[in-house]
Amino acid sequence: MLYPIIWMFFSSFKESRTIFTTATTLLPADWVWSNYVTGWQGIGGYSFGHYMWNSLVIVVLSTLGVVISSALIAFGFARLNFVGRNFWFGVMMVTLMLPHDVVLVPQYIIFTKLGWLNTINPIVIPQFFGAPFFIFLMVQFIRTIPKELDEAATIDGCGKFRLFIQIIMPLIKASLATAAIFSFYWRWEDLLGPVLYLNSPDKYTVSMGLKMFLDSESASNWGGMFAMSMVSLLPVILVFFLFQKHIVEGISSSGIKG
């Protein structure tokens, strides 16, 4: 199962010319570290570090936005009584299954008219309005917390917002972490957003940087491409190992991720 990843890891240490002639042997004959140096120098006039930084900015802003807004919305659905709650919850569940393709073109037009082309706005700002997956996940979590807790807090004179911040938020940490981790993965790996909205190389993300390596294949910097592919996976793999338990719990309770 992991063989392809391991193969890529070792290939990133092979000399560009020999990657394919030695495709079936795993270990490189001599270890070439320079792939990481040439790869890091980047492509399109910017270093790979530049692309990493761009991705990081998008990921951090998006994740903060999506986790905070989803938690607020989830609290509203799970704990507050208001006219039309079931209706809006139903709407949210339907959007959960809606193919993204149907809003792709109009969203592009709207963001273009807003003058947001070649900014990170179209990628980041929608995240501040919650994501149905995460909202649903958090609603499920909040429902497991006994309602008596709310009642006790309310009797003590605690308002709804304080109830949310001081009582509920600390109790749903696990689901907040799950949402944050998945948001991190999806934004880090996102290609469609950057392809559509970012068109100057100084704004490119890691995905776009890798795509540029692929497009300039004729330069045959295979080693560099493999090395940077590994580098691009590093944060994802790191997060995976650090938070493995959360991820597995999150996935089995909600079923998210393609």
Partner 1 sequence: MRNHSLKANLTGYAFISPFIIGFLAFTLIPMFISLYLSFTSYNLFSPPRWVGLDNFEKMFTGDPKYWNSVKVTLYYVFIGVPLRLTFALFVAMILNTGSKMIGTYRTIYYLPSIIGGSVAVSIMWRNIFSEQGIVNGLLMALGAAPVQWFGDPGAALSMLITLSVWQFGSSMLIFLAGLKNISPEMYEAASVDGAHPVRKFFSITLPLLSPIILFNLIMQTISAFMTFVPAYIISKGEGGPMDGTMLYSLYLFRQAFMFNNMGYASAMAWVMLIFIGVLTLILFKTSKMWVFYESEGGR
Residues within window 56-115 making contact with partner 1, judged by CB under 8 A? 69, 72-73, 75-77, 80-83, 85, 88, 91-92, 95, 97-110, 112
| Contact between 38 and 223 (Cβ < 8 Å) | yes
Q: Which long-range contacts (CB under 8 A, 24 or more apart) does 191-198 make?
A: 193/122, 193/123, 194/123, 196/108, 196/122, 197/108, 197/111, 197/116, 197/117, 197/118, 197/119, 197/120, 197/122, 197/123, 198/118, 198/120
> Residue 46 phi/psi, 5° resolution?
-125, 145
Q: Give 38 or 253: the residue with its C-beta nearer to partner 1.
A: 253
Residues in binding contact with partner 1, number by CB under 8 A: 83
Q: Give 53 or 76: the residue with its C-beta nearer to partner 1.
A: 76
Per-residue binder mask for partner 1 (CB under 8 A), 12-41, x = binder: -------xxx-xx-----------------
Q: Give 10 or 53: the residue with its C-beta nearer to partner 1.
A: 10
Which of 10, 40, 53, 128 binds partner 1 (CB under 8 A)? It is 128
Residues 212-241 close enough to bind partner 1 by CB under 8 A: 213-215, 225-226, 229-230, 232-233, 236-237, 240-241
Which of 56, 57, 145, 251 binds partner 1 (CB under 8 A)? It is 251
Per-residue binder mask for partner 1 (CB under 8 A), 133-172, x = binder: --x------------------------x---x--------
Q: Give 37 or 255: the residue with its C-beta nearer to partner 1.
A: 255
